[in-house]
Structure 1
Amino acid sequence: MSPGFKRGLAGALLAAAALACVVWAGVAHAEVAAADPIDTAMRQCAARADRSSTAGQVQCIEAANDAWQGAIDAAYQPVLANAPSETLRRGWQESQRRWLAWRKEEAHLLHAVFATTEGSSYAMSAANLRLQPVRDRALALRKAAAQYQQAALALQAGDAPPAAQRTPRCSADAACQHADFDLNRYYRKLRAKLPVRSRPVLMRAERSWVAFRDATGPLIGSQDRVDLIGARIATIKRFSETVGND
């Protein structure tokens, strides 16, 4: 078996796994199990005979991406409307601003990574990597919207709202520090593998993501923050494994 054939086979297997990663991502969390209508629709789309090609599978992922983007828009306004304080409301506005800025920079990084590959099989992997952060953001906003609505209803009923969570600084949270260490390790690995001309793209994307993380961290619980960093680790690791493949 020639090295070229092996690389091509590896690319095809990666593409086949990409959709599965999207479909099953988050199933370990009960509140985001695969019963979500958007995930269900994507699985049904992927199972259609006329979507069996790489292009067809990418269409299914992109349709899910659009649906999750709509879920972001639908959840964001209730978060602002029901935020228990002006500080939290402004915090979520800043988080969303940083999120949008990061997504713009990340698009350039994704392009730089996949520009080093050859073969249509990687189109699915790229589509997956575009989708997953959008899905994660929608679920985070849904969770915040549900929590704030619960607190608002408790106040209306004259009951004490749920106690506000206090998220310690990452430097005071061992799990957060460990996740940050792993992220920096994979970041350095990706930087070393990228072409020199693409390294500034990585630097801008990572700075933008750090700004998003820092704006979002105080708004969510400690475990959610670790999950946020963990998702970034998974993305950077995937980028590192992808660079230079053909």
Structure 2
Amino acid sequence: MNITEVLSYYTCDASKLAIDASYREEIEDALNVPTKPKVTTEDEYVAAMGIKRLLCRIEVYMGNISHPLHSIFSDLENTYSKALSRYNNSLLVKNKDDRRLIKYLAWTKYFTSSVDHEQMLIEAAQKGLLKKRLTVSDDGKTHLSLFVWGLKFKVGNNVFSVDRLGREHRTYLETIGRQCIPTCVPTECFNRFVQNNPKLIEQIADVTENDYVTDVGDGKYKIRSIPFSVADQNDIYYAYQLKRTTNLAA
């Protein structure tokens, strides 16, 4: 198929089916993309994500003008979404202890003073389970944010269901995006980690345009909550509990 064939689907209602000139070049590009994408490396992921975004723009436009070939672009976008999702799923953390660690670091109901958060951040960083983002505020100060990655949760959208009592409940959907979830630890522990481990922080990978910072909370594109069982809480406590020293009076 080529652009001429796409444009040939005009009817007497040309204003409805006509393709805006600004989209023609993108449509021509989309008609030449591989129909069976291979995504096994980060470079292939970046390339496929670029194509997926192109197809998404065209699919939305073709749907808006009710073009007869809309389904072709929709199906192709779905093919790329599945390939990208398979690659991202292959990067998810499989080790049980590592998953428990990063789930805790993203858990918003963290322990306060009973566990060693600095040690947890060190371990997660050494294992490549963290990503970072540096931002500069208006006053010129640089701020560091840390995120865990390798987990996958459903995110909220703006569609709500209504129960029999008339209460609205946000619906949550799977996503193909690579989620980076903000760490949630006591501020003093975070600051101590930053102060004591500058070289380790330099080695933490940056959040890229192909990562999606995904917050926890009630809202669109947010994770409702991080599930963290009592058993996992106990395991974290006993693995990372702070050792306290008691001074006995002479």
More helix by share: 1
Structure number with greater CO (CA < 8 Å, separation at least 6) is: 1
Query: Please, what TM-score do these two structures have when normalized by structure 1?
Result: 0.25
| TM-score, length-scaled by structure 2 | 0.25
Give the strand-richer structure, 1 or 2: 2
